[in-house]
Amino acid sequence: MNQPQQPDDMMPAIADVQSRRDDRDIAIDQVGIRGLRYPLMFVDADGVARSTVATCDVFVALPAEQKGTHMSRLVALLEDQLSASAEPLSVANFRRLLDDLVVRLGATSGRIAFAFPFFVRKTAPVSGVASLLDYEVRITGELDRGSYVHTLDVAAPVTSLCPCSKEISDYGAHSQRSVVRIVARPRAPLFIADLLRIGEEEASAELYGILKRADEKYVTERAYNNPRFVEDLVRNVAARLSGDARIAAFAVEAENFESIHNHSAFARIARGL
């Protein structure tokens, strides 16, 4: 567990308190660093490496007999794995971080989570004007005695329009921004962009950075033609995810930032998570 051979720990005059024996006989599930921000090159479905900034959690399991972990090695892992010379990160190669982690720390298991804004260039539905849209994304990998699982967690901001408001009103219907969050544990290759599209397609309408007037007319009418309760959002997404052979387990949540209340409407369906 202790690695005195590492040059940067070879300062013999300085005590290595963390490596000492601990007598409380309590193993620690996760110990490490949380909330460290780091620039990240990430590549998804389109094969293009894009820059973003990740907020990183890096944890290992600590055996009962060891007093502490070596936090600086966890940051060093990020320095090495996310450097300009490293291959851009993807869902497919995320495991390389975990493999490196358990070796550096001599740990039996570890967990790494990166949360970052993910940008997609979208095309407005009528004018065809292109603009970026930002999404919150989180990738989590866990390696436990050689067994690896990873989880994708994406949040798609969308429009929801209330079916009740539409039906009972003589004109109009309240709409609002909503977030559809999908957490998926893949059993086959799966892209971030795939999950985001499912969330967007099942909403009353999807969002864009730029909408010209012809586009605004289109999305307004589309939302009015596709009213969705928060219940509809999670049911429709759940149906899509349940039928997707690439997905072993999932949870879907929708939150409507109600335009007629100062609280949210919320729904959640989980299957296997």
Q: Rounded CA gap, 270 and 273, in Å? A: 6
Q: Are strands 109-123 and 49-62 parallel, antiparallel or unpaired?
A: antiparallel
Residue recorded with tokens 């509809």? 232
Q: Rounded CA gap, 80 and 86, in Å? A: 7
CB of 186 to a copy of itself, least distance (A): 21
CB of 131 to a copy of itself, least distance (A): 6
Give 189 or 217: the residue with its C-beta nearer to a copy of itself.
Answer: 217
Give 172 or 189: the residue with its C-beta nearer to a copy of itself.
Answer: 172
Give 170 or 245: the residue with its C-beta nearer to a copy of itself.
Answer: 170
**What's at 103, amino acid-wise?**
V
CB of 254 to a copy of itself, least distance (A): 9
Q: Rounded CA gap, 188 and 63, in Å? A: 32
CB of 189 to a copy of itself, least distance (A): 25
- How far apart are the two ends of the chain, measured CA to CA in Å? 32
Give 75 or 149: the residue with its C-beta nearer to a copy of itself.
Answer: 75
Q: Rounded CA gap, 209 and 123, in Å? A: 9
